[in-house]
A and B are shown apart, each in its own frame.
Chain A
Amino acid sequence: MAVLRPFDKLPTLNSGTLLLVGPDEALRQQLAETILQEKRDFNISIHLATSLPLPSERDHLRPRIDLIVFMIDIKSKYSLKKVECSLAHVDASFFLGKVCFLVTGVGKVNACSIEMNAVCKLGEAYCSPMLFCELELEDTRVATAQRLVRMLRICAGHIPGVSALSFVSLMRKSDDN
């Protein structure tokens, strides 16, 4: 099955699975390591991918994915294109709060190769939250990792009364009717 679906597998006890998708290997690795260093009371497993679809041979070994984070580097138009192509391989029901866009490299606005408007429109079109960060600075990297761990916890269903759908309601602008 080439398309990722959110509920086609059973969840694992006391754990959450994060999928990081983005063409920049070094950034992915760095973020994954920072996330794993966070203090937590549940198991986190992080899967890394350059793009989707994921190879189907290992599909039966893969756990249920709770949160997909698409990494877009503001300095690389290629990363935006790759992410846009990968979005087609994600089932629509994932976009009910279980997908997040992470825009990296925003510390250096003078090096930006992509138009911010296009990126924000992408977030709006897919109804998914967009986080801006600078992964090369340790403080923001740690802060981003903390945010992602909190989001993962909600997406994995560990917080009673709060589901991933609440992220979608946070996306609505105040002037929407």
Chain B
Amino acid sequence: MAEEAPEDGAVRTLPSLRRLSRALPFGRSHGRLGVSSSGRHIVPALCSQEKADPQKTAFLLRKAWTLYSVTPLYRFRRCRLRDYARLLGAFIAAEKQKGLAVEVGVELDIKVALSSLADLRGSELDQDALLVQHFTCLPLFLTHGPESYTSLVGSWFQKTFDCCFRRLAISPLNLSWMVAMWAGCKLDRAASAVELIFSVPCLAQPLDISYAIHPEDAKALWDTVQKTPGEITQEEVDVFMDCLYAHFHRHFKIHLSAAKLVKVSTAIASAHCDGIVKILHSQYLPGVLMLLTELAISQIQ
């Protein structure tokens, strides 16, 4: 399932070209490692979208999705989804018969259903995909299930649309952005704790540190740090994280800034540095997917 851009007419731009004017948070490299042209990263804060129908998108929640970034697809037509489903089903059945996906006792009739979730489109401001030379940009691929099926589907896409799939890893810098954004979101009901998991390198026995913060405290801290509602800067994220690190250091005399942040978990979503996310709150689902899509775009560039 991929994040879709609406299709309405013959002419659209690749999302990435449009977004150049809106500085991305995830540091695109322009010559030097990860330095963006503007220098200052500003991103619209995570917005909740009430209009998404929770029933249709419920299957996305509370599952651990593995993320892949996908280069633009050549000659992908949304009207041909049924044909693609048939072809993919036949491909998987053929591969299974060849014995490449070794699974005992699995029936050979694979049903593939490709559907588009109209509710997951971004706002009208995110203009969509311009079919430049028949390319469609659907940069984010989420998968849940056995590795064998994932690799089969991936290789079918790569063969059919001449694209390239790559595991989307999330750096500690991006994870800290996510925790700052998600911890600051307003939630009506009681939320689970904001948790950060660190792994300490260079030790004989690997050590994992789990740092849990009461969600209201985290939100209160973020509210004092954030200056402009609706906008987040790198400086604000740094201050937020430095406060958390300083607090931990005062109590435990451990510098968390020297450890590697591997997983962040909030009431909205959780993300692991290996590119595994779990979205927990339907209200913020489009916002989280938008964030992950931008991350995927920055990786394929």
Contact = CB atoms under 8 A, between A and B. Distances in A.
Interface of A: 23, 26, 75-79, 81, 106, 109-118, 120-121, 132
B234 to A, nearest CB: 6
Interface in B202-237: 202, 234
Contacts of A114: 173
A174 to B, nearest CB: 13
A117 B35 contact: yes
Nearest to A103: B33
B39 A117 contact: yes
Given A75-B201, A115-B173, A116-B33, 14 more contacts: A77-B241, A78-B257, A109-B171, A110-B273, A111-B273, A112-B173, A113-B171, A113-B176, A114-B173, A116-B32, A116-B34, A116-B35, A118-B234, A120-B32
B72 interface: no
Contacts of B39: 117, 121
Contacts of A117: 27, 34-36, 39, 41, 234
Given A117-B34, A117-B35, A112 B171 contact: yes
B171 A111 contact: yes
Contacts of A120: 32, 35
Given A26-B202, A78-B255, A113 B261 contact: yes
A120 B39 CA distance: 10
Interface in B188-205: 201-202
B243 interface: no
Contacts of B121: none
B33 A106 contact: yes
Nearest to B176: A113
A26 to B, nearest CB: 7
A56 B169 CA distance: 45
Given A114-B173, A117-B27, A76 B257 contact: yes
Contacts of B36: 117
B34 A76 contact: no
Pairs of residues from A and B, 7 with the lowest C-beta to C-beta distance, nearest first: A78-B258, A77-B257, A78-B257, A116-B34, A110-B169, A113-B172, A76-B258
A26 B202 CA distance: 9
Contacts of A76: 257-258
Contact of A115 (B234, B245, B258, B261): B234
A68 B152 CA distance: 53
Contacts of B176: 113
B84 to A, nearest CB: 31
B293 to A, nearest CB: 18
28 contacts: A26-B202, A77-B245, A77-B258, A78-B257, A78-B258, A79-B258, A81-B257, A109-B33, A110-B169, A110-B171, A111-B260, A112-B34, A112-B173, A113-B171, A113-B257, A113-B260, A113-B261, A115-B27, A115-B41, A115-B173, A115-B234, A115-B238, A116-B27, A116-B33, A117-B27, A118-B234, A120-B32, A121-B39
A77 to B, nearest CB: 4
Interface in B13-41: 27, 32-36, 39, 41
Contacts of B255: 78
Contacts of A77: 241, 245, 257-258
Nearest to A27: B202
A75 to B, nearest CB: 6
A132 B35 CA distance: 14
Interface string B145-188: 00000000000000000000000011111001000000000000
Contacts of B35: 116-117, 120
